[in-house]
């Protein structure tokens, strides 16, 4: 019983500690998001990163439901400093194959 109270207390305290910034030691860098679902890609990017989406099939489709799309390619490449530049993600619907 005491062990359970201590564990619960430690978990509660851990929730109160603010999270460290993702890139505290330099400029924000582009994460690897190609191959992920679009929702996961958005979560990996900093909230203030401008994101442009490009239809991988070239049909000019608009993304209305991000959970139904996946990222095939990204620009800039993973690890590149963003320096305020927008990220461009080439996406297709989850049931479609990425273009070659």
Sorted by where each begins, the domain ranges of the chain are 26-93
Cross-strand pairs, 52 = 88
Tokens for 98, please give them: 């990425």
Banded model confidence at residue 27, pLDDT cuts 50, 70, 90? confident
Edge-to-edge strand ranges of the sheet holding 69-75: 51-55, 87-93, 69-75
Q: What is the pTM (predicted TM-score) of this model?
A: 0.73
What is the SS3 assignment for 84?
coil
Site of tokens 């996406």: 91
Helices marked H in 1-100 — which ranges?
2-16, 38-44
What's residue 18's pLDDT?
46
């Amino acid at each position: 019983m005491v062990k359970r109270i201590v564990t619960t207390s430690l978990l509660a305290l851990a929730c109160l500690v603010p999270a460290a910034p993702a890139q505290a030691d330099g400029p924000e860098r582009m994460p690897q998001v190609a191959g992920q679902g679009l929702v996961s890609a958005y979560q990996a990017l900093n909230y203030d990163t401008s994101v442009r989406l490009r239809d991988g099939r070239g049909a000019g489709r608009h993304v209305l439901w991000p959970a139904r799309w996946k990222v095939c390619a990204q620009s800039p490449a993973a690890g590149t400093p963003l320096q305020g530049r927008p990220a461009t993600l080439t996406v297709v619907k989850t049931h479609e194959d990425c273009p070659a």
